[in-house]
Chains A and B, each alone.
Chain A
Amino acid sequence: MPDPVSGAGAYVAAAYIVFVTLVVVYVAIIGSKVARIERELDALARLVEEREP
């Protein structure tokens, strides 16, 4: 197997890093959205509890 940090190895590493970065960034964005939904849901649940006699 060729040296992974030089020549063709560097191009292959770059291509796979691009792919992994895309997936990780996408999942992180969706994760942050889900966390925001959970926070809003908690706030709504508290609001409903406060309103109930």
Chain B
Amino acid sequence: MTRPVFGRGLRPLAITTALATAAAGALVFFYAPIEADQGFSQKIFYIHVPMAIVALLGFVAAGVMGIRHLRSRDRSWDLRSYVAIHLSIILGVGVLVTGSIWAKASWGHWWRWEEPVLVSFLIVFLLYCVYFPLRFSIEDPDRQARYSSVFAITAGAFVPLNFVAVRLAEQVLHPRVFSQTGGDLPGEMFLTLLVSLVAMALLFVTLWKLELSAKHAAQQLKRLRARLELQAERRAEERVSVGSPS
């Protein structure tokens, strides 16, 4: 029996994630007050903002994993980086769609091109969409892992720079959640946001480990099949050499 490499502790983590998600849902709909300005549509905030923060942190974490891969030449770090980017892209789709729904509910527009927060997130998202064609256009596994890590590091460094640039830019419509004054969030709303953020981070780690363990199992299976085929070929060659006259 093989030791689970990436799936270790997945079950308790999944249970904790389910409990945290349920707690976040209960706080959003039964504890956090209705916001005076936006009304009930502000409830989208508790899913949109944690998704955006976790997606961006996932991109940065993928860059750190890329550094670990380049330093150690251990391809499992490249796999970790790839899965983190994959998950962050999926969350990014969620951020863009829920953001558009919230914008329509609050501002009456699906999208505002003059708003730096929206456009900068779209740029980051599109930048990472390039990662997949780049990765799968390279056949040699070592080169693929190396180039993907370089991309993950470069793009990962762009994420905090982009965040600072948006902070410095003039605010049009999109609110700044974590400002120097604490974002002006009342205590109940801030607690609900924090629990939602923890639940989203736990969900990210759970899905990351799930995908990693599935990919690792697929790789192990491929290696096992290749070894069995090689053994079968060797046995066939041995039979031929034994059967032939010397």
Q: CB distance B39 to A2 under 8 Å?
A: yes
Q: CB distance A9 to B98 under 8 Å?
A: no
Q: CB distance A34 to B93 under 8 Å?
A: no
Give the residue name and chain of the A residue nearest to B225 (CB).
A44
In the bound complex, how far is the Cα of B179 from the Cα of A5, in angstroms?
Answer: 34
In the complex, which residues of chain A have a beta carbon less than 8 angstroms from the beta carbon of B211?
30
Q: A26-B207, A30-B207 are in contact. List 14 more A-B contacts (CB 8 A).
A: A7-B40, A8-B39, A11-B41, A11-B101, A12-B40, A14-B101, A15-B44, A16-B47, A18-B101, A19-B47, A27-B210, A44-B225, A44-B228, A47-B228
How many B residues are at the interface, by size bracket? 20 to 34
What secondary structure prevails in chain A residues at the interface with B?
Answer: helix
What secondary structure prevails in chain B residues at the interface with A?
Answer: helix
In the complex, which residues of chain A have a beta carbon less than 8 angstroms from the beta carbon of B224?
44
The answer to whether residues A11 and B104 also contact, given A1-B40, A41-B221 and a CB cut-off of 8 A, is: yes
B48 at the interface (CB under 8 A from A): yes
Within 8 A of A (CB), among B101-122: 101-102, 104-105
The answer to whether residues A34 and B41 also contact, given A19-B47, A44-B224, A48-B228 and a CB cut-off of 8 A, is: no
Q: CB distance A9 to B217 under 8 Å?
A: no
Chain B residues with a Cβ under 8 A of chain A: 29, 39-41, 43-44, 47-48, 51, 90-91, 93-94, 97-98, 101-102, 104-105, 203, 207, 210-211, 214, 217-218, 221, 224-225, 228, 232
Chain A residues with a Cβ under 8 A of chain B: 1-2, 7-9, 11-12, 14-16, 18-19, 22-23, 26-27, 30, 33-34, 37, 40-41, 44, 47-48, 51
Q: CB distance B39 to A11 under 8 Å?
A: no
23 of the cross-chain contacts (CB-CB < 8 Å) are: A1-B29, A2-B40, A8-B40, A11-B101, A18-B97, A18-B101, A19-B98, A22-B90, A22-B91, A22-B93, A22-B94, A26-B90, A30-B207, A30-B210, A30-B211, A30-B214, A33-B218, A37-B214, A37-B218, A40-B221, A41-B221, A44-B221, A48-B228
